[in-house]
């Protein structure tokens, strides 16, 4: 084996084999004179960048400069692209020439390999901090919860659980506009998260809710005219503003029972928003859903 061959092997060991021990390496055999290689390069680079946090890296081997390595992989035409894990080829990606084809293959491969992505590792690190923020918020200290979630946000600025927690903490502190802005900063694909939807529902309720402290007067108004749907709707909002979700649910269910179609089903819509703001997996929501079903279908 020549000195040049040994140098090739050492470089390949360093740049490809070692990274493949913990990551999926996209190995691209190419050459300067290869037109299809130049067309494929930006596709590979874009996909590799998008999948970097999932444990994917791109390595390129110039067949003119690394003839020994190319011969070991029996490269007969270029571009030739393999996926390597722990030093071994696990898939031939050569036929994947578009972003969609490549991502589909990578998704299939990653599901079968024990690769811990950067996102997974970060998720493990921040999970206890998110739990702490939620406990502090649940305990009634929104300002401290804001501080916790803000610090975690520096570590994971696009994590839906962090952003939704911060938004709900800001909302609990009466900072409605800031809460909405925090959610609006998320990328579109992250904004579909259930926790984000819960925070948006809470913001919507807060924007609609009546002022705190008017519940007594509104109760008297409803007692005097039980079929006054507008008064009932206002009372439900005031109860929500004061944190009395049980009372709000009772009033809204009563409104639905009186006239479910009133004001384009406004009472039912507000009740469903209350469910979403509370969290659809919450036992309280399950209990109230059963009550709603009894009213609608009983």
pLDDT at residue 213 in the model: 63
Measured CA angle at 37 (ends 32, 38), to 5 deg: 75
User: Rounded distance, CA 68 to CA 215, Å?
Assistant: 82
DSSP state of 137: H
Distances (CA, A) of 289 to 194, 259, 277, 280, 283: 18, 18, 14, 10, 10
How are strands ordered across the β-sheet holding 88-92?
56-62, 24-30, 80-85, 88-92
Tokens standing for 181? 């802005």
pLDDT at 47: 95
- State in Å, rounded, how far the first CA of the chain is from the last one: 85
Tell me what pLDDT residue 116 has: 66
Rounded CA-CA distance 160/197 in Å is 10
Mean pLDDT by 10 residues, the chain (298 residues): 85 93 94 94 94 91 93 93 94 93 94 74 81 93 96 91 95 92 91 91 84 81 95 92 91 96 95 92 94 92
Structure token digits, residue 279: 């969290």
In DSSP terms, which residues pair with 57 in a beta bridge? 25
CA distances from 165 to 140, 172, 195, 281 (A): 14, 11, 8, 16
Distance CA 78, CA 64 (A): 11
Report the C-alpha gap between 282 and 272 in whole angstroms. 13
What is residue 79's DSSP assignment? Answer: S
* Active site amino acids: 34, 37
> What's the chain's average pLDDT?
91
């Amino acid at each position: 084996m020549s000195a040049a061959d040994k140098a090739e092997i050492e470089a390949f060991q360093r740049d490809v084999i070692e990274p493949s021990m913990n990551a999926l390496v996209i190995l691209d055999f190419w050459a300067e004179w290869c037109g299809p290689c130049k067309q494929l390069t930006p596709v590979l680079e874009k996909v590799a960048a998008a999948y970097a946090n999932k444990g994917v890296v791109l390595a390129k081997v110039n067949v003119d400069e690394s003839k020994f390595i190319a011969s070991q992989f029996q490269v007969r035409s270029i571009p030739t692209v393999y996926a390597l894990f722990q030093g071994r080829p696990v898939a031939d990606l050569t036929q994947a020439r578009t972003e969609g084809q490549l991502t589909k293959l990578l998704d299939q491969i990653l599901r079968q390999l024990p690769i811990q992505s950067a996102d997974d590792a970060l998720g493990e690190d921040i999970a206890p901090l998110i739990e702490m923020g939620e406990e502090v918020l649940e305990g009634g200290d929104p300002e401290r919860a804001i501080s916790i979630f803000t610090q975690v946000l520096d570590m994971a600025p696009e994590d839906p659980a962090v952003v939704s927690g911060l938004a709900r903490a800001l909302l609990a502190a009466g900072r409605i506009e800031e809460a909405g802005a925090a959610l609006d900063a998320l990328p579109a694909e992250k904004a579909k998260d259930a926790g984000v939807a819960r925070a948006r529902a809470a913001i919507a309720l807060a924007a609609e809710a009546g002022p705190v402290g008017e519940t007594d007067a509104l109760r008297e108004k409803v007692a005097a005219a039980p079929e006054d749907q507008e008064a009932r709707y206002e009372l439900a909002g005031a109860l929500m503003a004061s944190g009395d979700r049980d009372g709000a649910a009772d009033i809204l269910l009563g409104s639905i029972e009186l006239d479910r179609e009133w004001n384009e089903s406004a009472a039912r819509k507000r009740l469903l928003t209350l469910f979403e703001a509370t969290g659809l997996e919450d036992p309280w929501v399950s209990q109230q859903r059963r009550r709603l079903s009894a009213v609608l279908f009983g």
